[in-house]
A and B are shown apart, each in its own frame.
Chain A
Amino acid sequence: MNRRISRTTGIDYPLLVVALLLSAFGVAMVYSAGQVDIRAAAVESLWKKQLVWLTVGLTVTWVISKSSVRLIEWSAWPVYLLSLGLLLFTALFGSGAGTAESTSGWLTIGGVRLGQPAELAKVSVVLMLAKVLSSMRNTPRSLLDLWVPLLVVAVPWLLILAQRDLGTAIVYIGICFVMLFWAGAPWQLLIMLASPGVSLVLAFSTGVWGAWFLILLALVFWYRPYLVEGVLLVVVNVVMGVVAPLVWDGMDLYRRNRVLVFLDPQYDPKNAGYQVLQSQYAIGSGGITGKGFTLGTQKRLGFLPEHQTDFIFAVVGEELGFIGVTIALSLFLALFYRCTRVAQRGNEAFSGLVAIGLAAGWFVHVVVNVGMTLNLMPITGIPLPFFSYGGSFMLMCWLSVALLLRISSEGRGQADGLGL
């Protein structure tokens, strides 16, 4: 019995409060992001738009709270198919915009940008994957046993790669692994599943790749998968090791630069390395207490790029200092803890998987985005949940909150609705 869930209303107050605090913090930072020296009306009023989206998000939350987990589970298929349809449409006709100029993730009809279907697809993949995994009876012994869940992820994943949105694609991988883990897939399988990607990355040093390959071989001999599967795995890893340089050569220049900058932030500080370097300057110069809300010079003077979207956490670091960063990270920590609790107490496999899947998506976003501001992660251009300006993203964050609240309240089999 979770005492923190109100007996009378069934609302998971800790989760709701943390999400509201994060959103308030986020809107405040979007407001601050608009306070710059060379004024631009468009940026200055973004916080109002963000507030509107937040309100819309809260409404969605209220509506979903009226539904039930059954209904949510039932909707998994239609939502998933709708998402795939939108993704396909976007892959064919999408346009780049804003901070994602180089990608083509925007659904545009008649010149009006309606949103980024990849955000909706994230939630739909979580739902679909939860549905598929929760219906599997036996623990998978082989990668071949996992072909259905993998296909569920792979289809939208490939469509997103087609939009050249590497960051979002990474989120899907994160969601997939965490949900497989939650469903009880053996760790050996997860490693084997991850091995081609690891090979691809490690192939840049033959020695390191060789060591990894030996470990993989040992694993294969010990775990003894099907012969076909084992051989295939080894072959795929070798191929990855061989094609890695070719992949590198085939990469877009800007993407290659991002990797180089990640390895050395001083590489090309005027261009490719500029964003990360300026972000680090902003955060470092914030010191312990920060320069004061709205007073960040890096932001005000335009040194910090994309400070209302991808690099908004650098504004937190610059203006509110280490204290502000600690508060923000603590709020995220609280959110993730609450999510694992919700997942743990879900009254059926589906609920738990949805909860952990949504949390995994957020977690990848937070780690990659926050890590990027300090060059602990390469730049992939994915937003920070509740903080970064963006309508569809805010909406999807609150849609996730709504699902979590619903699962949480149903997990105890208590009163329906949010009682709003």
Chain B
Amino acid sequence: MSYHPNEVARRARAARAVVALVLAALGLGFFRAQVLRSNEYAMQVDGQRLREVPLAAPRGIIYDRNGEIVAENLPGYTVSLLSPTVDSLNSALDALSKVIPIDRTQRNLVMRRFERARNRPAVIFNDASFEVVSALEERRIDFPGLIIQSSPKRYYPDGEAIAAIIGYTNEINDQDLLLPEFEETYKAGQQIGRAGLERKYESRLRGIEGSHFVEVDARGRVVREQGVRDDVPPRPPEALRSTLDMDLQRFIHETYGDSLRGAVVALDPATGGVLALYSGPTFDANRFTGGVAASYFDQLNTDPARPMYNKAVQGAYEPASTWKLATSIIAMEQGIAEINTRMQVPCTGGFQFGSQRFRCWKPEGHGNVTLAQAIANSCNVYFYQLGLKIGLKNLVAGGLKLGFGERTGIDLPSETRPSFPDSNVTRYYNEKYGTRGWTNAVTLNLSIGQGENSQTVINMARFYAALATDGSAAQPHLIEQEVERKQLFTLRPDQLASLREAAADVVSGRGTAGSAALQGIIVAGKTGTAQNPSKIDHAWFVGFAPYEKPQIVVAVFVEFGLHGYVAARIATKVMERYLNVSLVNASATTAAQ
């Protein structure tokens, strides 16, 4: 073995070279990790140490046409728990339940929420009371992972008045999250609009969720709650402006809320904007916010008057005599009748067709009447003959053209499609009654708004809006927007004027709704009494005012209302309220100027 100094020096140089190379290689490894790829690793680290606590965004505010609030947000408190495992959540809930009561269903709900989104805090109370919050706040140290946040809570100042319109909000559920519409953009635990405007305008009412960050340790326990990273503030959406007139809406609720079982719809004929839409009996939309109590829900569901059934857009009813103006327009448009045309057979309280006798509502008969008189007095016998003159095929085609076979397209999610024969009349009736199972008698029924015809209240309002203008109707809507305007029919101005005059006679001493007439405002409209074989008849009235220059169209449907004038009285009061308030407003503006 040689230990000559030169040999040793050579070995020392080699050793130093190896050491330098190896340490340089290690240094390069650190350079790569800490300088070149540092951001990547920092993200991984933040990903496992930070938990995002969502900050719910307030939903969009909805104003009515005068800037009054329809829907807003109140400050509320959410209590939730951030837990690493089911076991730790369970023990945290055990500890919590010694401070505040948490029942079994509540507990199961929390567990389900946890399972759905394990990295997000599982909500215990969506809307905790001040007592609960302060009780928990005091013992906060004992509950790591407990998150108490102020979070906006949906509130409707007139929750009962607008229940049929607004819908409600609550937590998105598992089925919703599977829908393509929601699966990308929603997370479990978030609130979503249900029914009504809340549902229809969900995308515009929903704000952008913000984030707060807490720090957790390797076992998922919350270690730091504040100052971990800057919050991302939630962003509320722009407010929506509704066409509603909250004063009118409230008026309807306050005046008829207790008694009305039916629907009231008021439209601005010029724009198609809905001024009021009410379905009675109503319920309190606020009680649905964040989840409805089972007892209240059961109570609503078992009520025979069906408060949750929207009678203005969901319910479809035989339009009865309110439809006679449709028969009249079809006849005039086809040149079959003018306003003073009389029929061959005078009304003697009934009409013989084949082997059947078709009755008029007035047993003693209306005598030999013109179209104008037939409208004012709602003479069935006249319209039977008019319908036969038009013919079934043309009558159905005319009705379809007037929009009786389609939805209005109002911006509410639950609108029912009206039922009306389709254009292939023979096939339609054959399918319905069998090839030899029906006769031309169906024409008679159809011409007085009975038979295979059931309409939503909103659709009747739209039809009368066309009558109140130039035969065109804008799509009814609740949120201000540009809408399509459809020409339903075309009549000469004198024809249109004569029809309106006849309709004005209805609400006068000469007509069926004389008792509903107003002082100083001429109302035009048509009553309807829909036969109800087993029970009391339903009452209809659809009309507009003022007759000379219509500013409001109102359709009223009253279940078991007995007679059309019952509906007419409600309708004219609504018109009066709207026109008087606007008159007062107008004069106030003038005075101010």
Residue pair B22, A367 in contact (C-beta under 8 Å): yes
**Provided the pairs A282-B45, A284-B41 are in contact, do residues A184 and B7 lie with their beta carbons within 8 angstroms?**
yes
Judge whether A370 is part of the interface by a CB distance below 8 angstroms: yes
Residue pair B23, A38 in contact (C-beta under 8 Å): no
**Provided the pairs A184-B2, A284-B40, A337-B19 are in contact, do residues A302 and B217 lie with their beta carbons within 8 angstroms?**
yes
CB-CB under 8 A from A38, the residues of chain B are 217, 221, 223
Checking B8, B22, B35, B221 against A344 with a beta-carbon cut-off of 8 angstroms, the contacting residue is B8
Residue pair B34, A286 in contact (C-beta under 8 Å): yes
Taking the nearest CB of chain A, how far is it from the CB of B17, in angstroms? 10
Residue pair A325, B34 in contact (C-beta under 8 Å): yes
Residue pair B48, A303 in contact (C-beta under 8 Å): yes
CB-CB under 8 A from B22, the residues of chain A are 363, 367
Judge whether B215 is part of the interface by a CB distance below 8 angstroms: yes
CB-CB under 8 A from A81, the residues of chain B are none
- Could you tell me the distance between the alpha carbons of A348 and B11 in the complex, rounded to whole angstroms? 15
Comparing B25-33, B323-331, B578-586, the segment that makes contact with chain A is B25-33
- Could you tell me the distance between the alpha carbons of A326 and B49 in the complex, rounded to whole angstroms? 27
B557-575 CB mask vs A (1 if < 8 Å, else 0) is 0000000000000000000
- Could you tell me the distance between the alpha carbons of A363 and B44 in the complex, rounded to whole angstroms? 32
- Could you tell me the distance between the alpha carbons of A63 and B192 in the complex, rounded to whole angstroms? 78
Number of residues from A at the complex interface, CB < 8 A: 53
Residue pair A284, B215 in contact (C-beta under 8 Å): no
Select from chain B the residue with minimum beta-carbon distance to A301. B217
**Provided the pairs A139-B1, A337-B19 are in contact, do residues A280 and B30 lie with their beta carbons within 8 angstroms?**
no
Judge whether A383 is part of the interface by a CB distance below 8 angstroms: no
**Provided the pairs A301-B216, A303-B49 are in contact, do residues A322 and B41 lie with their beta carbons within 8 angstroms?**
no
- Could you tell me the distance between the alpha carbons of A168 and B402 in the complex, rounded to whole angstroms? 94
Comparing A175-183, A208-216, A399-407, the segment that makes contact with chain B is A175-183
CB-CB under 8 A from B23, the residues of chain A are 329, 332-333, 336
B170-201 CB mask vs A (1 if < 8 Å, else 0) is 00000000000000000000000000000000
Residue pair B33, A284 in contact (C-beta under 8 Å): yes
Residue pair A283, B12 in contact (C-beta under 8 Å): no
A364-378 CB mask vs B (1 if < 8 Å, else 0) is 000100110010100
Residue pair A349, B3 in contact (C-beta under 8 Å): yes
Judge whether A381 is part of the interface by a CB distance below 8 angstroms: no
- Could you tell me the distance between the alpha carbons of A301 and B37 in the complex, rounded to whole angstroms? 22
**Provided the pairs A139-B2, A281-B45, A303-B48 are in contact, do residues A376 and B29 lie with their beta carbons within 8 angstroms?**
yes
Judge whether A94 is part of the interface by a CB distance below 8 angstroms: no
CB-CB under 8 A from B29, the residues of chain A are 371, 374, 376
What is the interface residue range for chain B against chain A? 35 or more
Comparing A48-56, A83-91, A109-117, A130-138, the segment that makes contact with chain B is A130-138
Residue pair A333, B41 in contact (C-beta under 8 Å): no
CB-CB under 8 A from A285, the residues of chain B are 38, 41-42, 44-45
Checking B7, B12, B25, B26 against A340 with a beta-carbon cut-off of 8 angstroms, the contacting residue is B12
Checking A184, A280, A322, A376 against B3 with a beta-carbon cut-off of 8 angstroms, the contacting residue is A184
Taking the nearest CB of chain A, how far is it from the CB of B238, in angstroms? 39
- Could you tell me the distance between the alpha carbons of A332 and B27 in the complex, rounded to whole angstroms? 12
Judge whether B99 is part of the interface by a CB distance below 8 angstroms: no
Judge whether B239 is part of the interface by a CB distance below 8 angstroms: no
Considering only residues 171-214 of chain A, those with a C-beta below 8 Å from chain B are: 178, 181-184
Judge whether A58 is part of the interface by a CB distance below 8 angstroms: no
Checking B1, B27, B42, B219 against A184 with a beta-carbon cut-off of 8 angstroms, the contacting residue is B1
Judge whether B9 is part of the interface by a CB distance below 8 angstroms: yes
CB-CB under 8 A from B37, the residues of chain A are 284
Residue pair A349, B19 in contact (C-beta under 8 Å): no
Judge whether A288 is part of the interface by a CB distance below 8 angstroms: yes
CB-CB under 8 A from A303, the residues of chain B are 45, 48-49, 217-218
Checking A183, A326, A349, A363 against B27 with a beta-carbon cut-off of 8 angstroms, the contacting residue is A326
CB-CB under 8 A from B35, the residues of chain A are 287-288, 322
Judge whether A352 is part of the interface by a CB distance below 8 angstroms: yes
CB-CB under 8 A from A409, the residues of chain B are none
Judge whether B432 is part of the interface by a CB distance below 8 angstroms: no
Taking the nearest CB of chain B, how far is it from the CB of A349, in angstroms? 5
Residue pair A182, B11 in contact (C-beta under 8 Å): yes
Judge whether B16 is part of the interface by a CB distance below 8 angstroms: yes
Interface CB pairs A-B, < 8 A, 25: A139-B1, A139-B2, A181-B11, A182-B11, A182-B15, A184-B7, A283-B30, A283-B34, A284-B33, A284-B42, A284-B44, A284-B45, A285-B38, A285-B42, A286-B34, A301-B215, A302-B219, A326-B27, A336-B16, A336-B23, A363-B22, A367-B22, A370-B26, A371-B29, A374-B26
Contacts A325-B34, A371-B29, A374-B29 aside, 11 further interface pairs with beta carbons under 8 A come to A38-B221, A281-B44, A283-B33, A285-B45, A288-B38, A325-B30, A329-B23, A333-B19, A336-B23, A349-B1, A374-B30
